[in-house]
């Protein structure tokens, strides 16, 4: 990818930005052309680490599915959006295992900082 993110991490960050809203209810990421420029360095590093960790734990479970969909469903599931692995094209026991792995990361909230960058909490 031109933004320096692998496809999985890019899809994860993209989902995180459109699924997270500011105090007015507007998505944090409206211009997703250069995702790294929107994120605080620690947030970008955490996203990379979480994506790498998820893939390491899920291992061979990931081989049968679209990587961009998996990344998006990882964000949605870990944050209990009601969508994600639960309603995706995942058969059992893969669905349950992917959900367990996603939940193990806990939730992650994004907010716009005073510096104009998006931070994770």
Whether residue 120 is predicted with pLDDT greater than 50 in this model: the reply is yes
- Average pLDDT along the chain: 91
Q: How many structural domains does the chain have?
A: 1
> Does residue 13 sit within a domain?
no
> Does residue 27 sit within a domain?
no
Packing angle, helices 94-104 and 41-58, rounded to 10 = 150
Integer Cα distance of 114 and 97 in angstroms = 38
What is the average pLDDT across 45-62?
96
> Does residue 22 sit within a domain?
no
pLDDT of 30 reads: 63
> Does residue 26 sit within a domain?
no
Task: Map tokens 């931070």 to a residue.
Answer: 119
> Does residue 9 sit within a domain?
no
pLDDT of 29 reads: 67
> Does residue 59 sit within a domain?
yes
pLDDT of 1 reads: 43
Give the range of the structural domain holding residue 106, as residue numbers without chain letter. 38-120
Integer Cα distance of 80 and 103 in angstroms = 8
């Amino acid at each position: 990818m031109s933004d320096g993110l692998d496809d999985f991490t890019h899809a994860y960050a993209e989902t995180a930005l459109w699924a997270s809203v500011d105090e007015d209810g507007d998505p944090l990421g409206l211009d997703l052309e250069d995702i790294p420029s929107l994120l605080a360095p620690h947030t970008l590093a955490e996203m990379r680490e979480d994506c790498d960790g998820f893939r390491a734990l899920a291992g061979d479970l990931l081989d049968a599915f679209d990587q961009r969909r998996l990344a998006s469903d990882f964000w949605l599931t870990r944050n209990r959006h009601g969508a994600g692995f639960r309603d995706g094209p995942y058969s059992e026991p893969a669905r349950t295992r992917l959900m367990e792995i996603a939940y193990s990361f806990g939730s992650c909230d994004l907010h716009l900082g005073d510096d104009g960058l998006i931070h994770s909490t």
